Chain A
Amino acid sequence: MNIQAQAPVLIIIIPLLASLINILIGTWRRDLCYPFALIVLGSCLLLAFNIMDTVINTGTIHYRIGGWAPPWGIEYVIDHLNAFIAVIVTSMSFIVSVYSRRSIEKELRASKIPYFYTLYILLTTGLLGITVTGDVFNIYVFLEITSLAGYALIAIGDEKAPMASFNYVVMGTIGACFYLLGVGYLYIMTGSLNIADLQRLLPDLYGSTVILVAFAFFLIGVSIKIAFFPLHTWLPDAYTHAPSAVSAVVASTMTKVGAYVMIRITFTVFEPRFSSEIIPMTSILGWSSVLAIISGSVLALAQTDFKRTLSYILIAEVGYIVIGLSVGNRAGFTGSVLHILNDAFMVACLFMVAGAVVYKKGSRNIDAFTGLNKRMPFTMAAFGIAAISMIGVPPTAGFFSKWYLVLGTIEAGQWVFASALLFSSLINAVIFVRILEKVYFNGENVSIPQSRDEVPLSMLFPVIFMGAGILVLGLYSGDIISSVIQHTVPKGF
């Protein structure tokens, strides 16, 4: 059997079966769950790179499940964008799983660990499923697999986590149901669920009200899932009270995959012509993004809990990604796709730093950072890199995606959008400089003797890797754009 030809389906089947096997392993030997999860997620990572390689060399992959021809059967379609997102998802979940071991041991009861890894692998399965499938209903199913795993993972956090998770369930279900209604309306009009088939059938029906309603349902459903302002209310609580490792993986992958679904709906299922001309998408999404960016940043400034600050920054970052899509030109789209990658790295790094501080100091409060440069020099160095990348200082990765986003908004003549992006950078600068000042310059005020007291190596290494990754991504962003991202830009830009 040729493994390479089966890679698109193996990347789903391996983690799906593994998540079930993991429970059995957990009942036998609890300590084997961690290495097992690492092996599974590592092989997914290799498969994702393999798929990426195939796509770059031979173009889009079409995989027919069970040999059924589309549009009757379910087809997996992987082009540059899918492969790119799949690589992001697998690398984030692999790196955070390396990190998770000690952090989870500290934050959870030992009996919960096998279930944690089962859900963790299931979350990855769902996310990968969304990225590889070429069928709108299949996306719904995987979206719900992801969300269900996410609800459970968030609920095992601290005291307030179950309530936060319950609110997330209610909001997330509304989002998924709206998405499902969108699928239903498209099915009534076209009789098809296959993305490529829909793309062929829809242009004749653009005048229909039903299609407009379907588009609206899709957009609102996905907006809830990615916590797009003003539908973000579930996110800060859920991500603050979740265990640190869960926050890191969920924050860096779920919103990104949701943004990918948004791109697929607005630019592949519907043509860019429909999304930007028939529907005034620039004004609807663009102005909501401006609100998301400004309110996210300002609310982040007002928090004293570090994870909550990050959650609000994440809401602003979602606004960044959507604003690049809404302007509808090449530079803006490139910026958005690049920002999906960069933001995954930055957010994962920052949440892992937050987890490291919780591990050592037992507090999520920003004051816990005071004078940490002596105790945790390497973690704080990675934190510093991620922080200046969030602000957008060259040569870190954050600068390049912001550069493209600002270029895109200026090209579209939307000066308010551009100034919102710059304003948010300014606020980020205030937030992070305030914390960095505590870390590096307030050490003298601390009376406790400061000796080196770093987190365990399995936690430290992923954090440093992410910090270095942000620099490397910044330096190689030109190559990433020329080899992958420029092929993802939809026709008509």
Chain B
Amino acid sequence: MEFVIGKYNFWVYIVLMMIGFYAMIAKRNLVKKLVGMNIFQTAIILFFVSIASKKGGATIPILQKGMTINPSQYMNPLPHVLMLTAIVVMVSTFGVALALIMMIYKKYGTLEEDEILEIERNRK
């Protein structure tokens, strides 16, 4: 039980990631796939942010001149910074994918993957 509760942040991220992964693979609707992709990516953001935190009331202190710095008082800021970059990447991926979906919808008039395959098959 300790294994589950003590490391609950990892469990949450794994469960979320698997939900996203399932949607990306199993869903037939392209928008649902895309939402799955977003959940998948968000899970990774949560993972990174959670590894930065510390037990025992660590925050992000505002440093003033002459203040002594105690590393146990503040959270590691680097994962947050990395995730800001990753969020930008993910938003742009989402944007590109949505633009693609618009193109697909204009061409086929549907976003269901099996219907698109059906149209392709009939075209041959």
Residues of A in contact with B (beta carbons under 8 Å apart): 137, 140-141, 144, 148, 151-152, 155, 159-160, 162-163, 165-166, 169-170, 173-174, 176-177, 180-181, 184, 187-188
Contacts and interface: CB of A to CB of B under 8 A. Distances in A.
A174 B24 contact: yes
A159 B123 CA distance: 11
A166 B30 contact: yes
Contacts of A184: 44, 47-48, 51, 79
A148 B41 CA distance: 15
For the complex, would chain A's binding face be called helix, strand, loop or mixed by DSSP majority?
helix
A180 B93 contact: no
Contacts of B37: 169-170, 173
A165 B116 CA distance: 14
Contacts of B82: 137
A243 to B, nearest CB: 14
Nearest to A138: B85
B65 interface: no
A180 B100 CA distance: 24
B44 A177 contact: yes
B97 interface: yes
A141 B89 contact: yes
Given A141-B85, A173-B93, A184-B44, A162 B103 contact: yes
Interface string B5-30: 00000000000000001001000001
B44 A144 contact: no
Given A180-B44, A181-B47, 15 more contacts: A137-B82, A140-B86, A140-B89, A144-B92, A160-B120, A162-B100, A166-B100, A170-B24, A170-B33, A170-B97, A177-B41, A177-B44, A181-B44, A187-B51, A188-B51
Contacts of A169: 37, 93, 96-97, 100
Contacts of B93: 144, 148, 169, 173
Nearest to B89: A144
B119 to A, nearest CB: 10
Nearest to B38: A173
A381 to B, nearest CB: 35
Nearest to A164: B100
Contact of B101 (A148, A152, A166): A166
Contacts of B101: 166
A165 to B, nearest CB: 6
Given A173-B93, A184-B48, A159 B103 contact: no
A163 B89 contact: no
B40 A151 contact: no
5 contacts: A141-B89, A159-B107, A170-B24, A173-B93, A187-B79
B2 to A, nearest CB: 18
B105 to A, nearest CB: 9
A180 B90 CA distance: 12
Contacts of A181: 44, 47
Among A144, A180, A181, the one with the most B-chain Cβ atoms within 10 Å of its Cβ is A180
B104 interface: yes
Contacts of A173: 37, 40-41, 93
A160 B103 CA distance: 10
A144 B30 CA distance: 21
Give 3 nearest A-B pairs by CB, closest first: A162-B103, A144-B89, A166-B100
B100 A165 contact: yes
A23 B88 CA distance: 21
Nearest to B102: A162
Contacts of B30: 166
